[in-house]
Amino acid sequence: MTRRILPCGGRELWYPQLIDYVLSLATRERPKVLFLPTASGDGEVYIRLFRMAFGRRACDLDVLELFSRTVDDVGALIRDQDVVMVGGGNTANMLAIWRLHGVDRALRAAYDAGTVLTGWSAGCICWFEGGTTDSFTPDLGPLLDGLGFLKGSASPHYDSEARRPMVYAREIAAGLAPGIALDDGVAARYEDERLVEVVSGPKGGRAFMVDRDGEHPLAVRVL
């Protein structure tokens, strides 16, 4: 079973082209898609946007809320999905809550079984070993305890937040693992922990591998 992760730089995955691309990775004709809005505190606006964006597609939708949890067996719910999508917000808080509820273990099991994992911003960083985040301070800093499904680090919002490139370079120089930087609306497709391609909803979207030697541009396919 091929394992797939599709981290996106930011500004949601509501681009129609990206939605279709995500759903095309599912093996079921009518995919089951689960949204995890934990990073936003289960924000109602995010949940509504998710349902609006996917509601016209041939898929079945569900949401896992943990601040007012109603699901008894989180593992069973997550394992039953074709796609799990993670929203933006506070990455550190999200990871802590996931670990309290066993979501981290459930995601690992689903990933190994072939469920497509995706998301933007916090839902981009979380799959890696670490990344740059505003979870602790508006000035941005390192996050070092990601789920680690993918090696290295990630920096989302690379084009829309002016300090992201500088902070990412600084933190890599200070010891953060090298990794990938993604503009908003740009998603990187990993299969069995290997980068397969980078795609973009909007024109002009960029992606880079970043290490101590600087930025190394990646080819980006506009959908």
Tens digit of each residue's pLDDT (9 = 90 or more) over 183-199: 999 999 999 999 999 99
What is the identity of the amino acid at 200? Answer: S
Exactly one of 40, 155, 157, 200 is catalytic; name it: 157
What's the domain count of the chain?
1
- Residue 57, classed as helix, strand or coil, is coil
Q: What is the CATH number of the domain that holds 16?
A: 3.40.50.880
- The answer to whether 160 is a known catalytic residue is no
Expressed as residue numbers, the domain containing 59 is 4-222
Q: Note the pLDDT tens digit of each residue in 52-87.
A: 999 889 999 999 999 999 999 999 999 999 999 999
Q: What percent of the chain has pLDDT over 90?
A: 91
Three-state secondary-structure class, residue 175: coil
Rounded to 5 degrees, φ, ψ at 146 are -70, 180
For the stretch 79-109, pLDDT in tens is 999 999 999 999 999 999 999 999 999 999 9
Q: CA 114 from chain center: how many Å?
A: 16
The DSSP H or E segment spanning 196 is strand 194-200
Catalytic residue among 121, 135, 155, 200, which?
Answer: 121
CB 53 within 8 A of CB 2: no
- Annotation marks residue 121 as catalytic: yes
Strands 4-8 and 116-120: parallel
Q: How much is the pTM? A: 0.96
